[in-house]
Structure 1
Amino acid sequence: MFTVTKVLSSRYLYALRWKSASVVVNVKNVSTASIMALSLCTLTLFALSVGKLPMTVHQVLEILLSSERVEAGFQAKIVWDIRLPRVVAALFAGAALGASGAVFQAISRNPLGSPDIIGFTSGAAAGALIQIIYFADCALQVAIGAIVGGLSTAVVVLVLSYQGGTIKRQNLVLTGIGVGAILSAFNGLLLVKGDIDSAMTGNLWLAGSLHARTWEHALPVMFGVVLLLPLIKLFTAAIAGLELGELRAQSLGIRILKLRLIMTLIGVALAALATAATGPIAFIALAAPQLMVRLRNTANLPIISSALMGASILLIADLITQLIPMDLNLPIGRVCGIIGGIYLLWLVTKSR
């Protein structure tokens, strides 16, 4: 039999006990995550109905649940081969960026500690651009190039941040910003030195886009999120201990250097996979964790909820690009950049 008891007179924290085992559950956090997951499902169905061939949500559900795709004809082909890969790429790329931002903000204990600010996204973009301009623009090869570029950048930043037997969190952010600035200039040089066709492809990719996404773009980031998010959850307690401060974390037996190395590699892999799928997308990794902290009113950075928030932001931004009344084809990266700039201005104004 399960018994439910309130923990420390908390309004939302309860313990579920069964025999000798007990699990602490924060009802408010679980409710918030559940509401976000349900909202994301609704947004997904709506996104699948949006396009040059309008469909109702009921028609989309019938196509998705039908066992015979051939009978549904061209509508099924549009949903399965055009719209669904785009939506899946948006969902999992946004989730990867949200989770990656939460990881870096936790290990650096800095709200600016996101992969696009620290420079890891620029490193992933450099690896992908080299693949696009000098080799081929195959989606899988671009994903591999982005991961190699992101991990190489992470190694450089970690080596330069290493001081006194540990990786200083202040050094991590400052070094990452410097390396990111160098890589941004390097990416511009790549576009200048490449041939016209490759440079145009690379420039469009750098703007960030979900246009013409296929399963080759969507599947790598989807499998990456499914595999890496559970790994992050294994280290949740250690990450929470690290947020208490390095001295307290060491007293709790947390190996800070090892934890930062592992979390950096996981966070970079997530950011690189997202970058490979959609191109560089700003703002999401920076804002998604902070939005969830304010929504849940908690000091800890929520990993899963940040992933859900990142997926929601990217999918909503993609819907904006499709539903905008003017006949414009706006890159998703630019839309997220505009939203991010407005968000940062609001934060600065609010903090005064």
Structure 2
Amino acid sequence: MITAGWVSLRIAPRTFWVALALLLLLSTVSAIALMHGTMSLSASEVIAAVWGDGERGVVRTVQGRRLPRLITAILVGGALGISGAMIQTVSRNPLGSPDIIGFTSGAATGAVIWISVFGVSVLPTALAAVAGGVLTASVVYLVARRDGVSGGIRLVLVGIGVGAITTAVTTVFVVRADHDRAANAQQWLAGTLIARGWTHATSMLVAVAILIVPVWIVSRRLSFLEMGDDLAAGVGVAVERTRFLAVALAVLLLSVSVATTGPIAFVSLAAPQIARRLTRSAGVQVGTAFLVGACLLLLADLLSQAVDIGLRTPVGTVTALLGGLYLIWLLARRA
């Protein structure tokens, strides 16, 4: 039990040690990310540059490029991990990932429509992505409802169908856009951390800070839904309201992430399952899902840079490859 003032948090010993190990891994990978790149730096140079000391070029590289990219990767990966954990709990299905049930493609469609029609602009594109994600999730949720209840398997099946529609809409707008805007849309659709600065990092930090408290509150109620709707209602949980709030918060986390980096696959699918297997705990593992998601995206970003620095491989390409392999393994295991 961890107590701070009026807040108390009960953490299982295994979950605590897993979280500590993940923090150590995240710190190690973060240090490597700050030292790795076109300009290799030592640990002492990075530490000095973070505090504004050292050569001007090194300070500019660390503070202006690598540090905001690192923070953005951690926050986006963590947000995707939490979003996936909540959607999978609501759907009671490990395939109930925002990537698979259309929420990610809906957010991407909103952004691509804006880019194709008006061109690239950071804030309007972000708002369009959020609008696309919220609209798609609303359609999926309402269509999946039957007799006032949104069933888990129906949510997945309807989401797959709606996701196919939004993907088709995205393709139409990219094909019909002029050459420059189509190229910008294609680049954005790849999902990338390239050229992500302090504006992106700060926006993600604000969004996560605002949403994390309601996420934590809803996740505690959401854990009861794994026992079944009847048992959850029997202990006083407003089942459908809790499910709706969980989906809404997950979509908001997902949408701001997509708005920041473009659609990035795999993280929201795999992070919750890895977190659950590591902790061996039921319910929504908000903290560990965040840490696993952050580690996955940061490792994928390092891998994308290690492939060939000159190619500037988008991290979304790496996560899509890993996600495909993971999905094949998951389906084969459940067959």
Shift of 1:224: 1.4
8 Å Cα contact 1:106/1:243 also seen in 2: yes
Distance 1:189 1:259 in 2: 36
CA deviation digits over 1:70-118, x for unaligned, max 9?
7641211111111112111111111111000000011111111111111
Partner of 2:48: 62
In 2: Cα distance, 1:316 partner to 1:23 partner: 30
* Partner residue, 1:236: 219
Name 2:241's counterpart in structure 1.
Answer: 258
Q: CA deviation at 1:349?
A: 4.6
Alignment map for 1:71-220 (pairs within 5 Å): 72-220=55-203
Larger Rg: 1
Q: Deviations over 1:160-196 (max 9, x none)?
A: 1121122222221111111000000110001011111
Contact 2:70 2:298 in 1 (8 A): yes
Q: CA deviation at 1:303?
A: 1.4
Aligned mates of 2:72, 2:9 — CA distance in 1: 34
| Distance in 1 of aligned mates of 2:9 and 2:189 | 45
Residues 143 and 326 of structure 1: CA distance in aligned 2, closer, same or farther (over 3 Å) = closer
Aligned CA RMSD, in angstroms, stands at 2.1
Query: Partner residue of 1:280?
Result: 263
Q: 1:222 corresponds to which residue?
A: 205
Question: Residue type matched to 1:63 in 2?
Answer: A
Q: 1:47 aligns with which of 6, 11, 33?
A: 33
TM-score by length of 2: 0.94
| Cα offset, 1:16, TM superposition | 7.6
Q: 2: distance between equivalents of 1:56 and 1:70?
A: 14
Bigger shift: residues 339-348 or 305-314 = 339-348
More helix by share: 2
Answering whether residue 12 of structure 2 is matched by residue 26 of structure 1, we say: yes
The code of the aligned residue for 1:31 comes to W
Measured in 2, the distance between the counterparts of 1:111 and 1:286 equals: 7
Give the share of equivalent positions with the same residue, in percent.
38
Structure 1 gap ranges (5+): 1-14
Contact 1:96–1:271 (8 Å) recurs in 2: yes
1:196-229 Cα offsets, whole Å, 9 max, x none, are 1000000011111111112222222222122212
Who is 1:309 aligned against?
A: 292
- Does the CA contact (< 8 Å) of 1:139 and 1:216 recur in 2? no
Partner in structure 1 of residue 228 of structure 2: 245
Residues 340 and 76 from structure 1, CA distance in 2 versus in 1: closer, same or farther, beyond 3 angstroms?
same
CA distance in 2, matches of 1:17, 1:94: 28
Q: Is the 1:115–1:285 contact (alpha carbons within 8 Å) kept by the matching residues of 2?
A: yes
- Equivalent-residue separation in structure 1 for 2:249 and 2:127 (angstroms): 15
- C-alpha deviation, 1:266, in angstroms: 0.6
Matched residue SS, 2:95: coil
Tell me whether 171-180 or 297-306 shows the greater mean CA deviation.
297-306
Q: Which runs of 5+ in 2 are unaligned?
A: none
8 Å contact from structure 2 (residues 191, 316) kept in 1: yes
The answer to whether the 8 A contact 1:122-1:183 is kept is yes
| Residues matched between the structures, number | 333
SS of 1:117's partner is coil
Contact 1:106 1:239 in 2 (8 A): yes
- 322-331 or 87-96, which moves further after superposition? 322-331
SS of 1:115's partner is: coil
Whether the 8 Å contact between 2:223 and 2:282 is mirrored in structure 1 is no
Give 1:23 shift: 6.2
Shift, 1:351, TM fit: 4.9
- Cα displacement string for residues 285-329 of structure 1 (whole angstroms, at most 9, x for unaligned residues): 011000111111223331111111111011001101111258533
CA contact (8 A) 1:293 1:299 kept: yes
Structure 1 residues 55, 225: closer, same or farther in 2, change over 3 A?
A: same
